[in-house]
Amino acid sequence: MSSQTTSRRAFLTSSLGTLAATALGQEKTAAEPIIDIHQHTNYRFREDAHLLAHQRAMGITTTILLPAGTPTTRPSTHDGKSNGLAADAFGNESCMKVAQAHPGAYLWGANEVTDLDTAPAEIEKWLKLGACIIAEQKFDVECDSAHSQKLYTLAAAYNVPILLHFQNQRYNRGYERFHTMLAKYPKTVFIGHAQTFWGNIDKNHQPTDLYPKGKITPGGLTDRFLADYPNFFADMSAGSGLNALTRDEEHTTGFFDRHQDKILYGSDCNDHLGRGPGCQGAQTIAMIRKLSPTKAVERKILFDNSQKLFRLG
């Protein structure tokens, strides 16, 4: 690690530690609760105290922490990495410990590398301990692979959603075929996320363009899948979600109206502050508030839909 990186981390630890202590000491809760279905522990070396402060600053009242899988070197993990980071950075146990330390405010998921033969048993172990979702599935496999289908079956058996990161020629390949899985596993709740998922709100989407700009033609694969399959939901998180919101605001308002019962707020944000231009999660909340056709739709996306899907009291 470079001296510059060490100095930066030391600065963050001292200055943001104060922010964390302040935020965690506040007794006031958000006037309007928000559920964030997509966060990670130790995200880009962000410590737990900074994660807690970040979520509090954004006004999040319930956060779901998504782990990675076992560190292993195989094609599906791209040289020993999974979920875009070394898997031990935010494993199952890491997420569970934070959730157990903050009951009610934090929940957690279970995950494993899709094409490991031990994946179903490993995930089931954590589901039995209280994990509420299988996620984030972000591995280089076909979305309709035999290994993937075992996890779809497991999700239905435990009545938990499974969240997939769709990225062209990289993760959960074959999005154009995914409707066959939605039809084959009607009792499985699927949540879509990432570049290929959000790019395909546009009927004219070019698969290699991961962050497309400009006007959107309605009727893309994602638009159709959400309309046609009751068991498919949308995770609004990450830069891909924010890009989809902002590239054509008129389309976004119509998209929110059409799929108001299917869209879930998630941040997937590695910022430390929870506010300002560097916080993509806070920007997404602001855009949802700006572009929702009604207050009722806004509340569905930021809270009601996730409360219902995850059966939160």
End-to-end Cα distance, the chain: 44
For residues 279-306, average pLDDT? 97
Q: Whole-model pTM?
A: 0.88
Band of the pLDDT at 274, cuts 50, 70, 90?
Answer: confident
**264, 242, 268: which is closest to 85 by C-alpha?**
268
- Looking at residue 81, its pLDDT comes to 56
Quick one: CA torsion of 292, 296, 299, 305, rounded to 10 degrees? -100
Check whether the bond before 249 is cis (ω within 30° of 0). Answer: no
- What is d(CA 253, CA 139) in angstroms, rounded to the nearest whole number? 32
Instruction: Please name the fold of domain 30-309.
Output: TIM Barrel (3.20.20)
Tell me the sheet residues that pair with 264. 235
**229, 183, 232, 237: which is closest to 64 by C-alpha?**
237
Tell me the sheet residues that pair with 82. 85
β-strands 106-108, 134-137: how paired?
A: unpaired
Q: Is the pLDDT of residue 26 over 50?
A: no
The mean of the pLDDT values for the chain is 88
Per-residue pLDDT tens digits for 99-140: 999 999 999 999 999 999 999 999 999 999 999 999 999 999
CB atoms within 10 A of CB 124: 17
Domain boundaries, the chain: 30-309
β-strands 62-65, 162-165: how paired?
A: unpaired
**C-alpha atoms less than 13 angstroms from C-alpha of 182 in its C-beta half-sphere:** 22
For residues 9-29, average pLDDT? 38
For the chain, give the percent of residues with pLDDT over 90.
Answer: 74
- Looking at residue 19, its pLDDT comes to 38
β-strands 162-165, 134-137: how paired?
A: parallel
